[in-house]
Structure 1
Amino acid sequence: MILITGATGVVGRQVMELLLRERATVAAVTRGSGQGLPDGVRAVRGDLFQPRWIEADLAGVEAMQISPRATGPGLDELLKLAVAQGVRRVVLLSATTVEHPAGEARFADGFRHAEDLVTGCGLDWTVLRLADFAANALAWAPQIRAGDVVRGAYGRAVTSPVHERDIAEVAVTALSADAHTGTIHTLTGPQPLDQIEKVRLIGAAVDRPLSFHELPPEHVRRAMLAQGLPEEVPARLLGSLADYAERPGPTTTTVSELLGRPALTFADWAGDNASAFRS
């Protein structure tokens, strides 16, 4: 059995669906009722910030996918429970900022701490350091459904956004076989893009001319907080964008090397998700 944390996120859902296609037995940790999980996935209900409760559910688990945001301060204890219950393999979703700093250091430090715990826990491990998710552009969907202008800060911030399907395919291979044991993979999309170009590509996918309108970062921060978002969200976003406006995020060929095919582009992602941006 393979256990997925962060199962309701864009990567977790893709991983579960791919595993199910391979007829793997899959369980997902959820704080809720488990509604909305793919058919065939067993819901394991509880809060991993205090994971002692999950000990019995780890019996029979061969591999785990770890999202540090889902485990929080409970990661160390979860890994110790996994070792005690005979779990063999762990795949950690980390971030490129561990190796390529951007934004506030506290966020990269959190991922670095998670990597240290995973690589030192005694399980076979693989670390996936992930670039900016292409799916982060879904935050623009309400603006695009309402009009032709996306308003935001740091339009010239450059990243190489990675498609969640590529992340999931690499994660499934690491969860299912030994080939990636003891390795750290940095996964990015194939093409550096600024936010202005991302908006243009979404416009091409929905057959509408879209544009990006620059706003002061503090204006964006206040607007996000007024929507009820926790302080961490604009802090993560704006800190990283400020640095990526000065120097681009990394671009690697790792996805194509591991999967034996070209990495999916942001244009591919926009086409896959065009319905989210149509009114």
Structure 2
Amino acid sequence: MLLVTGATGTVGREVLRRLSGDLPVRVMARKPERVAGAAESAEIVRGDYDDARSLARALAGVAGVFLVTSRVGRDDDARFLRAARAAGVRHVVKVSAAAVEDARADDLITRWQRGNEDLLRGSGMEWTLLRPRSFMSNTLSWAESVREEGVVRALYGTSANSCVDPGDIADVAVSALTEPGHSGRAYTLTGPEALTAAEQTARLSELLGRPLSFEELDPGQARDLWSARYPAPLVEALLRSAERQRCGAKAGVENTVEEALGRPARPFRAWAEDHLAAFMAH
């Protein structure tokens, strides 16, 4: 039995779509009604990292887990890994972040991910770590302004990021869950090229067949924008992360997707073609 967590999120949703109906799969979600794309044979259960009993029920009989946690600063990983070990889970495939490898990265999010990685490596279970660069799907946050104004607004628009297609992350995750040879491996996952937000805007403009303009946000504007969505400590972590990107820390391209899957990582243009409707005027 495989357990998928985070199945309503960006990567977990893609993992679920890729797991064959021939495999016994259980899905744990806080809101099971939001789970979509699972095989008809998949078992969907309600579970919460704060509820030890729900974790025990979700993990009963499970051999392998796809683990996603997102509440920065919380001890969700510790709670889950204790329950997984008690249930006899053999292998955990966890989504972490590429920044953990950067000695200059010392923001709240990165420290939290490093601690979670240490917990998994010390759990006594087999482990595989997926360390993606920023998701190509983050550009969906531009969709409304693109549709309504023909404008993209972003911080440090001329700084490059080797962002990765979430589908590639999911493909590597499924391979790690279902095929041998991935235990004890940490995969840094990037796209095939490093792009700036201005370059992504130009590619979207070309695909949409209409002009788009790019407007640079300054750090104060970015702080105000993010503060409407995130608590202050997380906003400061995002600003520090953006500053590292401005200094070139996120421009490196890895060949790990091809090494793991036997095919190249998908470029931003291919991702954008698949999601173009989100940017088109209604």
| TM-score normalised to structure 2 length | 0.91
| Cα pair distance change 1:7/1:24, threshold 3 Å | same
1:138-217 equivalent positions in 2, closer than 5 A: 138-217=140-219
Aligned-partner Cα distance in 2 for 1:228–1:257: 37
1:230-241 equivalent positions in 2, closer than 5 A: 230-232=231-233, 234-241=235-242
Q: In the alignment, residue 10 of structure 1 is paired with which amino acid?
A: T
Aligned-partner Cα distance in 2 for 1:49–1:104: 27
| Cα pair distance change 1:43/1:184, threshold 3 Å | same
What are the Cα deviations for residues 146-181 of structure 1, in whole angstroms up to 9, with x where unaligned? 121112221112110100111011000101122100
Q: In the alignment, residue 163 of structure 2 is paired with which amino acid?
A: P
Aligned-partner Cα distance in 1 for 2:261–2:216: 37
2:12 maps to what in 1?
12
Aligned-partner Cα distance in 1 for 2:35–2:82: 30
Which of 240, 246, 270 lines up with 2:272 in the alignment?
A: 270
1:3 maps to what in 2?
3
Deviation at 1:233, TM superposition (A): 5.1
| Cα pair distance change 1:184/1:11, threshold 3 Å | same
2:44 maps to what in 1?
43
Aligned-partner Cα distance in 2 for 1:210–1:103: 33
Aligned-partner Cα distance in 2 for 1:13–1:147: 30
Aligned-partner Cα distance in 1 for 2:213–2:22: 44
Question: Contact 1:160/1:193 (CA < 8 Å) preserved in 2?
Answer: yes
1:258 maps to what in 2?
260
Q: SS at 2:33's partner residue?
A: coil
2:31 maps to what in 1?
32
What are the Cα deviations for residues 112-134 of structure 1, in whole angstroms up to 9, with x where unaligned? 11110111111111011110100
> Comparing 229-238 with 190-199, which one deviates more in the overlay?
229-238
Question: Contact 2:108/2:233 (CA < 8 Å) preserved in 1?
Answer: no
1:73 maps to what in 2?
75
Question: Contact 1:170/1:258 (CA < 8 Å) preserved in 2?
Answer: yes
Q: In the alignment, residue 177 of structure 1 is paired with which amino acid?
A: E
| Cα pair distance change 1:136/1:84, threshold 3 Å | same
- Number of equivalenced pairs: 277
Aligned-partner Cα distance in 2 for 1:126–1:159: 24
Q: SS at 2:108's partner residue?
A: helix
Question: Contact 2:109/2:234 (CA < 8 Å) preserved in 1?
Answer: no
Q: SS at 1:49's partner residue?
A: coil
Q: In the alignment, residue 3 of structure 1 is paired with which amino acid?
A: L
Question: Contact 2:15/2:171 (CA < 8 Å) preserved in 1?
Answer: yes
Task: Give the unaligned 5+ runs of structure 2.
Answer: none
| Cα pair distance change 1:50/1:103, threshold 3 Å | farther
Q: In the alignment, residue 115 of structure 1 is paired with which amino acid?
A: E
Aligned-partner Cα distance in 2 for 1:119–1:66: 14
Deviation at 1:24, TM superposition (A): 1.8
> Comparing 100-109 with 194-203, which one deviates more in the overlay?
100-109
Percent identical: 37
| TM-score normalised to structure 1 length | 0.92
What are the Cα deviations for residues 210-246 of structure 1, in whole angstroms up to 9, with x where unaligned? 2211121111221332x44433553343322221111
Q: SS at 1:127's partner residue?
A: strand
Q: SS at 1:34's partner residue?
A: helix
Q: SS at 1:8's partner residue?
A: coil
Task: Give the unaligned 5+ runs of structure 1.
Answer: none
